[in-house]
Amino acid sequence: MAAVNLFTLEESEPAMAADSNLFSVPASLTDRYRVEEERIAPTAVIPEHLPAFGEMTFYIPPYTDASLALPELAFELELSIQKRKVNTNLLEALSEDDKVAPVNLIAHSLFRSVQISLCNRLVSDCAQHYLYRAMIEALTTYSEGALRTALTSAGFYYDTPGAMDAAAENKEEVARQKLFTAHKWVQLSGKVYSDVTSQEKNLVTGVPVHIRFQLNSPAFYLRSWGDNDLLAPGKEYRGFIQNPRLLIKRYVGAPDFMNSLAKNLVTTTAKYHLEKQLLRVIDIPIGTTGTQLPNIHMGQEMKQSTALQIEGD
């Protein structure tokens, strides 16, 4: 006999028969009547050799019968790291002898900024350090096991501490390099990290969304070691992207629920509360014993703050 789940309604009569409630659904479930998933191709792609290091723009059209799940926005792409021969335009695949590897979390390191606009109005944080936001979000939300398994889809591998300048001892960096030496194209995917995508609420119907990904320069998302120098004359290493897609998920409400929502939107202005998450990057010289950092934050008092320290040459 098949198992049947019964929903007990709070306001039901004590004498109501169980079979009368057999197919009832609580009101809290009517806004997720059906789930739809879709992959969207970019509407505009600017090559990397043009100013701004290239960018991709995705457009999510407004829907009348579904709400957009902002926290579940994700992207996928295929990445290839290639080198250009000296004094030629011929490209070659990356090899182990090149002593070049992608940095950690390469799927997000490719981008320096992700900007989200609603109704052609920019509403997201415009900081030009998208990788730092993605790294903080990943390290604070993923468990230890998920970091070592699920997050490898974004190119994340734990680096060996103290071995960043000796690739032979940094097994994780060697593993990242082998991804691109063993395969010409590597499939990567990751969540879109932004203050807009951190909201718990779905986006109401009828709102168009533009998402703009700005690419980093190769000197930011590639590392070299030994006698190799990414910036040496006559050498050029860079990443190439193909088949970029934006993954979206929509929740289609029950007809009665969507009709009621549409009627309310005709006479009432929808108010969407947006909790801002700002990213600020500051350089502090080595040896500084004390300093003041003015204008870090202006406005309402912060609910939470997270500090990340990065050591650089």
Number of domains in the chain: 1
Question: Residue 309 domain-assigned?
Answer: no
Question: Residue 226 domain-assigned?
Answer: yes
pLDDT at 157 over 70: yes
The domain that holds 122 is classified in CATH as 3.90.249.10
pLDDT of the residue at 97? 82
Mean pLDDT computed over 23-29: 47
Question: Residue 9 domain-assigned?
Answer: no
Task: Kindly report the pTM of this predicted structure.
Answer: 0.77
Question: Residue 23 domain-assigned?
Answer: no
Cα separation, 109 vs 170, in Å, equals 19
Residue 189 Cα to chain centre, angstroms: 9
Tokens of 226: 């030994």
Tokens of 171: 């097994």
pLDDT at 100 over 80: yes
Return the higher-pLDDT residue of 313 and 164: 164
Domain that holds residue 219: 34-261
Tokens of 67: 């709400």
pLDDT of the residue at 17? 44
Q: How confident is the model over 199-212, as pLDDT tens digits? A: 888 888 888 999 99
Mean pLDDT computed over 154-172: 78
Question: Residue 224 domain-assigned?
Answer: yes
Q: How confident is the model over 164-219, as pLDDT tens digits? A: 666 667 888 888 889 898 888 999 999 999 988 888 888 888 889 999 999 998 88
Average pLDDT, the chain: 78
Question: Residue 293 domain-assigned?
Answer: no
| Most confident stretch, 90-104, 110-124, 265-279 | 110-124
Question: Residue 90 domain-assigned?
Answer: yes
Question: Residue 7 domain-assigned?
Answer: no
Q: How confident is the model over 219-240, as pLDDT tens digits? A: 889 988 777 666 666 678 888 8
Tokens of 126: 């415009």
